[in-house]
């Protein structure tokens, strides 16, 4: 794949938004498709993008390489489910060259774990050192209810394959009212018992999934207070570059993270932008902002137009998001699904 970038002036300057935040973290959705249908993320009868609308793997390589040339140090692949994209490992292997050159600090992905048994060893061979696995419950029946047709045994086997390959695994769990909220302590103890961190995430009002957000939402401030009755939680200053705030749990000797877009936004330190599988750049998860990078990408074999389009988009990055759960109209704040944007 051709990852070369032209030495135009804008490539030599860091990407700094209007509020002085330097963009160093790029999240790329390589597909909107997924082999699960988690009810808080997708409707059961999803209409996916035509494959012709998606950027090719070569285009994704060129796009990511341009961002790396402009200062991105951390690259995360998301979806949908990134590992269901055909030949996605060729993209990951190609982009791993930036790890070897020192231009990129980390190449990673967020996955539902269903394909990990197949790909874990190759991911490690490509220089991936840690991954996030989305897992909201250890109960097989609840897992089937949440994912609609997922197989928890495949996910658990995938997690073990990843650990055996030497990958550090962090578990992401969405806190869901009246479904898994009572299971969080057990999920945390299980994860910490295997040396894995756990991050809890609030439901985000994105996309019409055919269910009321207020019926799903658990404030993590409430969840933390519940956990504090049973466990000793000590705030940590450390960060993994994302929005999570971490505590150390004395009783389990493990880390617990909280991602709280609803109860406490994390925008003041946001160094992230997102690209969809069609080449649309979103500088904020909670805004309907969109900049088309596919057109300049395809308009010229060099990266001058692309780099200029990126700079224009970064110049429009908002100060923060405005997530709310609309209790009157029961509608999402942002119309696009998380599966299209990338988690």
Residue ranges per domain, the chain? Answer: 9-341
What average pLDDT score do residues 22-35 get? 95
pLDDT of residue 238: 80
pLDDT of residue 235: 96
**DSSP character for 108?**
E
Residue 288 contacts by C-beta under 8 Å, 6 or more apart in sequence?
334, 335, 336
Between 288 and 60, name the one with better pLDDT.
Answer: 60
Name the 3-class secondary structure at 230. coil
**Gyration radius of the chain's alpha carbons:** 19
Nearest to 107, CA basis, from 85, 125, 129, 87: 129
Band of residue 342 on the pLDDT scale cut at 50, 70, 90: low
- Cβ(275)–Cβ(76) below 8 Å: no
Is the predicted pLDDT of residue 329 greater than 90, yes or no? no
Between 342 and 284, name the one with better pLDDT.
Answer: 284
Is the predicted pLDDT of residue 3 greater than 70, yes or no? no
Residue 196 contacts by C-beta under 8 Å, 6 or more apart in sequence?
159, 163, 168, 169, 170, 171, 254
Q: What percent of the chain has pLDDT over 90?
A: 69
Between 333 and 160, name the one with better pLDDT.
Answer: 160
- Cβ(105)–Cβ(128) below 8 Å: no
CA separation for the pair 341, 242 (Å, rounded): 16
Band of residue 217 on the pLDDT scale cut at 50, 70, 90: confident
Strand 272-275 with 280-282, pairing = antiparallel
Note the pLDDT tens digit of each residue in 58-109. 999 999 999 999 999 999 999 999 999 999 999 999 999 999 999 999 999 9
CA separation for the pair 115, 129 (Å, rounded): 17
What average pLDDT score do residues 245-255 get? 97
Note the pLDDT tens digit of each residue in 121-134. 999 999 999 999 99
Burial per residue of 287-296, b for 16 or more beta-carbon CB atoms within 10 angstroms, e otherwise: bebebebbeb
Is the predicted pLDDT of residue 7 greater than 50, yes or no? no
If you average pLDDT over every residue of the chain, what do you get? 87
Is the predicted pLDDT of residue 8 greater than 90, yes or no? no
Nearest to 91, CA basis, from 112, 118, 60, 52: 60
pLDDT of residue 6: 43
Band of residue 39 on the pLDDT scale cut at 50, 70, 90: confident
Query: Helix, strand, coil % (nearest 5) of the chain?
Result: 35, 20, 50
Q: What percent of the chain has pLDDT over 70?
A: 81
Q: Where is 158: in which H helix or E strand?
A: helix 152-164
- Cβ(36)–Cβ(148) below 8 Å: yes
Is the predicted pLDDT of residue 281 greater than 70, yes or no? yes
Between 277 and 39, name the one with better pLDDT.
Answer: 277
**DSSP character for 103?**
S
Note the pLDDT tens digit of each residue in 157-212. 999 999 999 999 999 999 999 899 999 999 999 999 999 999 999 987 644 545 54
Nearest to 243, CA basis, from 268, 220, 226, 221: 268
CA separation for the pair 163, 133 (Å, rounded): 12
Q: Domain 9-341 classified CATH 1.10.10.10? A: no
Is the predicted pLDDT of residue 333 greater than 50, yes or no? no
């Amino acid at each position: 794949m051709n990852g070369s970038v032209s030495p135009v002036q804008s490539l030599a300057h860091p990407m700094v938004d209007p509020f002085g935040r330097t963009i160093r973290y790029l999240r790329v959705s390589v597909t909107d498709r997924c082999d699960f249908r988690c009810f808080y993320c997708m409707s059961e009868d999803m209409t996916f993008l035509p494959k012709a609308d998606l950027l090719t793997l070569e285009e994704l390589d060129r796009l990511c390489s341009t961002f790396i040339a402009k200062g991105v140090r951390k690259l995360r692949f998301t979806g949908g489910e990134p590992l269901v994209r055909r030949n996605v490992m060729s993209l990951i292997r190609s982009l791993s060259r930036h790890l070897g050159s020192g231009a990129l600090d980390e190449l990673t992905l967020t996955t539902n774990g269903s394909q990990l048994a197949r790909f874990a060893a190759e991911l490690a061979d490509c220089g991936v050192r840690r991954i996030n696995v989305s897992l909201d419950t250890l109960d097989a029946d609840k897992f089937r209810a949440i994912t609609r047709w997922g197989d928890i045994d495949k996910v658990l086997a995938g997690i073990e394959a990843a650990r055996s390959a030497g990958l550090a695994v962090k578990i992401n769990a969405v806190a869901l009212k009246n479904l898994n909220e009572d299971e969080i302590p057990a999920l945390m103890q299980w994860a910490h018992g295997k040396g894995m961190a756990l991050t809890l995430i609030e439901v985000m009002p994105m996309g019409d999934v055919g269910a009321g957000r207020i019926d799903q939402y658990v404030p993590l401030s409430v969840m933390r207070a519940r956990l504090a009755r049973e466990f000793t939680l000590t705030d940590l200053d450390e960060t993994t570059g994302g929005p999570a705030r971490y505590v150390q749990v004395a009783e389990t000797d493990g880390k617990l993270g909280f991602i709280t877009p609803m109860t406490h936004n994390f925008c003041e330190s946001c160094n992230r932008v997102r690209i969809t599988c069609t080449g649309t750049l979103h500088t904020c998860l909670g805004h309907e902002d969109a900049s088309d990078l596919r057109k300049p990408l395809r308009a010229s074999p060099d990266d001058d137009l692309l780099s200029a389009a990126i700079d224009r988009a970064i110049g429009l990055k908002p100060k923060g998001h405005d997530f709310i759960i609309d209790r009157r109209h029961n509608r999402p704040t942002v119309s696009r699904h998380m599966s299209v944007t990338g988690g």
